[in-house]
Amino acid sequence: MNIILLMYVIILAGIEAEALSYDYTANIECLTIPQKPQYNGGIIQNPEINDGLQGWTSFGESKIQHRESLGNKYVVAHSRNQPYDSVSQKIHLQKGMYYTLSAWLQVSNGNVPVTAVVKTNEGFKFCGVIFAESNCWSMLKGGFIADTSGEAELYFESNNTYVEIWIDSVSLQPFTEQQWKSHQDQSIEKERKRKVLVQALDEQGHPLPNASIYITLNKPKFPFGSAINSNIINNRAYQDWFSSRFTVTTFENEMKWYTNEYAPGKDNYFQADQMLQFAKSHNITVRGHNIFNDDPKYQPKWVYSLSPNQLNLAVQKRMNSVVGRYKGQVIGWDVVNENLHFSFFEGKLGQDFSAKAFNKVHNIDPQTTLFINEFNTIEDSRDGLSSPSNYIQKIKQIQSVNRQLPLGIGLESHFSSLPLNFPYMRASIDTLTASRLPIWITELDVASQPNQVQYLEQALREAHSHPGVQGIVMWTAWTPQGCYKMCLTDNNFKNLPTGDVVDKLISEWGKAQVLGTTDQNGLLELSLFHGDYKIQINHPIKKNYSIIHHMQVLPKEDYSNKTTQLIQLLV
């Protein structure tokens, strides 16, 4: 008898939820007229400033004015003497609620950072920052979690007191923690999974009910991994633990300049070569980290005494050496690490160093994505140096040399002991997603603290569910003396609680075997994560016999127009 396995792969419409859907959109263009406020303004009164100054008052000692231009009405804070002299609105907060904020801002002159702040009875919440321009409107997106209930004030500040601050289309939308999690579930169903319809038929085309279907994910499409270091080279236990879990890695120090060229002209790629071979043998992809680091303390010791001309020659040799050696063997290069916070090379070789370095690396390895890689962009709303707005500015600077560079956005994600600000994290990724560049979480960890395990799970869930994120790497390379901030195993490679969280999520994200039985019509409907699967079918009419087939579940955009696959398997 023949059994026919008929598989339809269709896009999943999404899950129904009572919660208001989250708006992942953001705009990084400067517009003549601002867009409408998200969520119709949420809890903000008079969000489009169409009803005069109703709901809006002066904050500090500034004066405010209602204005109109090109048919658009807005409020202006002028005559400012202190950074906080501005416009504000009183709001009522509920403890534990997640607040997502958006606003459109303009200044009277120049290109000036403007920060959104919420003043509560307990202190100040820094919600986000934008470089506001003159003559056009820019969108700020951010957020915070309320740690107290009661009256508060939302206002906008700038250290440049010479400019007027113009404000329009303001929104502040609260969500419960449960609603926030429902957004993650909705996004995962839409962005990470597809619905698969399996039908078992006999050779006459009759449905076969009660067929047992076993589906195993061989390799997920979404890259998830951890950093490694040279301890893995001759450690079989470490290799087995790692390779059974992860599909992508980053070398902690073994591809860095101070490791590869410890003395002028003395190249050392022994460890990196061995680690790359380990990764290849287990089908694990590698991110190239890093070609340069702009932090002065992370340079080869011999570099500090070089003249600018000598440094330039050393820099050119470094790029030719490491990129030429591993060309086509890594999925991305961190070209100039942390150059929003530091400027070692710019200070010696000119402000266009980064742009030139990216272009040079692209010429050597033209098929590989080139990443800017920074910390605090999503971790800390108080760090204006690496804010999404500053990040976008750096992207534009690098693209000024070559608009065709295959750039990527690297977000280190080193979370401190402070409670994680998930509304700010999500909103920041929203803003960066508007650049249409690939976004990776590149070095995720959480500082040691009582809530470390909880925060790790929450951060990974938030990152994995965001439609703009294309991969996650944790910064959890194992050493006998302890890890950078967070280990996943003990020295016997038994999971710590953090490792248990990682295993739970790996299983939840598709690794666990899916079991099912066809109904009276021979049908089984499943929602599966994107990836490569093995599907096995058994039926009572053929005991001790099974049919095995391999299939791919891919995002909609990866399919050809033909989305139905018919497979005939003989029994």
- Report pLDDT digits (tens) over 252-272: 999 999 999 999 999 999 999
Q: Quick one: pLDDT at residue 387?
A: 96
Q: Is the peptide bond before 290 cis (omega within 30 degrees of 0)?
A: yes
- In terms of C-beta density within 10 A (0-12 exposed, 13-18 middle, 19 or more buried), how is residue 196 classed? buried
Do 485 and 533 belong together in one domain? Answer: no
Q: Is the separation of the CB atoms in 535 and 551 below 8 Å? A: yes
Domain ranges, residue 150 = 38-175
Tell me if 241 is assigned to some domain.
yes
Does the pLDDT at position 14 exceed 80? no
Tell me if 204 is assigned to some domain.
yes
**By three-state DSSP, how is residue 543 classified?**
strand
Do 113 and 77 belong together in one domain? Answer: yes
Q: Quick one: pLDDT at residue 539?
A: 83
Tell me if 183 is assigned to some domain.
no
Q: Which of 484, 510, 536 is the last residue of a domain?
A: 510
Active site residue 133: no
- The DSSP line for 231-266 is GGTT-HHHHHHHHTT-SEEEESSTTSHHHHEEETTE
Q: Quick one: pLDDT at residue 4?
A: 62
For the segment 494-518, the average pLDDT, to the nearest whole number, is 94
Q: Quick one: pLDDT at residue 206?
A: 84
Active site residue 443: yes
| Measured CA distances, 426 to 171, 454, 483, 509 (Å) | 16, 18, 27, 20
Residue at 63: amino acid letter: K
Q: Quick one: pLDDT at residue 2?
A: 61
Do 480 and 537 belong together in one domain? Answer: no
Identify the residue with better confidence: 552 or 568: 552
CA 129 from centre of chain: 18
| Measured CA distances, 512 to 50, 106, 295, 424, 508 (Å) | 54, 51, 42, 32, 7
Within 8 A by CB and 6+ apart from 439, the residues are 408, 409, 411, 429, 432, 433, 468, 469, 470
- 191-242 pLDDT, tens digit per residue, is 999 999 888 887 788 888 999 999 999 999 999 999 999 999 999 999 999 9
Q: Quick one: pLDDT at residue 215?
A: 93
Q: Residue 54 belongs to a domain with what CATH number?
A: 2.60.120.260
Tell me if 1 is assigned to some domain.
no
Do 425 and 319 belong together in one domain? Answer: yes
Tokens of 352: 């266009």
Identify the residue with better confidence: 393 or 17: 393
Does the pLDDT at position 565 exceed 50? no
Residues 415, 139: Cα–Cα separation, whole Å: 26
Q: Quick one: pLDDT at residue 443?
A: 98
Q: Quick one: pLDDT at residue 1?
A: 55
Give the percent of the chain with pLDDT over 70. 93
Residues 24, 22: Cα–Cα separation, whole Å: 6
What average pLDDT does the structure give for the chain?
93
Q: Categorize the per-residue pLDDT at 559 as very low, low, confident or very high, splitting at 50, 70 and 90.
A: low
- 362-375 pLDDT, tens digit per residue, is 999 999 999 999 99
Tell me if 3 is assigned to some domain.
no
- The count of domains in the chain is 3
For the segment 85-94, the average pLDDT, to the nearest whole number, is 98
The pTM for the full model equals: 0.94
Q: Quick one: pLDDT at residue 540?
A: 80
Does the pLDDT at position 146 exceed 70? yes
Do 140 and 245 belong together in one domain? Answer: no
Does the pLDDT at position 348 exceed 90? yes
Least confident of 11-15, 19-23, 68-72, 465-469: 11-15
Q: Which of 490, 510, 530 is the last residue of a domain?
A: 510
- In terms of C-beta density within 10 A (0-12 exposed, 13-18 middle, 19 or more buried), how is residue 121 classed? exposed
- Structural element, H or E, at residue 396: helix 388-399
Q: Could you tell me where the beta strands, DSSP code E, fall in 299-406?
A: 332-337, 369-374
Within 8 A by CB and 6+ apart from 281, the residues are none
Do 345 and 494 belong together in one domain? Answer: yes
Do 500 and 544 belong together in one domain? Answer: no
Q: Quick one: pLDDT at residue 199?
A: 86
Tell me if 5 is assigned to some domain.
no
Active-site hit among 338, 374, 379, 412: 338
Active-site hit among 374, 412, 443, 462: 443
- 281-318 pLDDT, tens digit per residue, is 999 999 999 999 999 999 999 999 999 999 999 999 99
Q: Quick one: pLDDT at residue 204?
A: 80
